[in-house]
Amino acid sequence: MFGSGKGIEMARRWMGWGLVTALWLLPTALPALAQDAAREAATAPATALAETPLAKANARIAVWDLPDVDQLPDDDYGRLVRYGRSVLVATPSHIGPNAADPAMRFAGNNLACANCHLNAGTKKFGLPLIAAAADYPSYSARSGHKATLADRLDGCMTRSMNGRPLPTESKSMRALVAYLELLGKSVPPGGKIVGGGAGRIAELDRPADPVRGAALYKENCAFCHGPDGHGLIRDPEAPALGYGVPPLWGPGSFNDGAGMNRLITIANFVHNNMPNGTSWVMPQIAPEDAWDIGAFVVSQDRPRRAGLDRDFPDLLQKPVDAPYGPYADDFTETQHRFGPFAPIRAALARLKADKGTVPNPNVK
**Among 201, 267, 291, 279, CA closest to 31:** 279
Give least dist CB 364 to ligand HEC, A: 27
**Among 323, 11, 254, 228, CA closest to 111:** 254
Backbone angles phi, psi at 139, to 5 degrees: -70, 135
Give least dist CB 21 to ligand HEC, A: 9
User: Which span sits near ligand HEC by CB under 6 A: 53-61, 65-73, 242-250, 323-331?
Assistant: 242-250
118 lines the binding site for ligand HEC (CB under 6 A): yes
Rounded Cα–Cα distance for residues 20 and 22 (Å) = 6
CA torsion through residues 49, 54, 60, 66, sign: negative
Contact (CB, 8 A) for 35 and 201: no
120 lines the binding site for ligand HEC (CB under 6 A): no
User: Which span sits near ligand HEC by CB under 6 A: 72-80, 108-116, 200-208, 302-310?
Assistant: 108-116
Give least dist CB 354 to ligand HEC, A: 27
Give least dist CB 30 to ligand HEC, A: 26
**Among 155, 195, 161, 198, CA closest to 294:** 198
129 lines the binding site for ligand HEC (CB under 6 A): yes
Number of C-alpha atoms within 13 angstroms, CB side, residue 223?
16
Residues in contact with ligand HEC, shown as a per-residue x/- string from 144 to 173 under the rule CB under 6 A: --------xx--xx--xx------------
Residues in contact with ligand HEC, shown as a per-residue x/- string from 49 to 68 under the rule CB under 6 A: --------------------
Report strand pairing: 232-233 vs 138-140: unpaired
**Among 81, 111, 118, CA closest to 96:** 111
220 lines the binding site for ligand HEC (CB under 6 A): yes
259 lines the binding site for ligand HEC (CB under 6 A): yes
Positions in 170-199 near ligand HEC (CB under 6 A): 176, 197
Residue 326: cis peptide before it, omega within 30 degrees of 0: yes
Q: Which residues bind ligand HEC (CB under 6 A)?
A: 15-16, 19-20, 88, 91, 111, 113-118, 127, 129, 131-132, 135, 152-153, 156-157, 160-161, 176, 197, 220-221, 223-225, 245-248, 254, 258-260, 265-266, 269-270, 274-276, 285, 293, 297
